[in-house]
Amino acid sequence: MSNDSEFRFSRIKKLIEELFYEIERGIDEKDIGECIRLQRVLRSNEVPDGVLVVRLETQPMTRRAFNHGEFYAFKDELTLINKKRHTVAEML
90, part of any domain: no
Share of the chain above pLDDT 90, in %: 47
20, part of any domain: yes
Specify the number of domains making up the chain: 1
Contact 87, 62 (CB under 8 A): no
Q: Which residues pair with 62 in a beta bridge?
A: none
**Pure H helices in 2-48:** 3-28
φ/ψ of 31, rounded to 5, equals -85, -30
Cβ neighbour number for residue 13 with a 10 Å cutoff: 13
Q: How confident is the model at residue 91 (pLDDT cuts 50, 70, 90)?
A: very low
| pTM, entire model | 0.70
Can you give the residue range of the structural domain that contains 52? Answer: 3-82
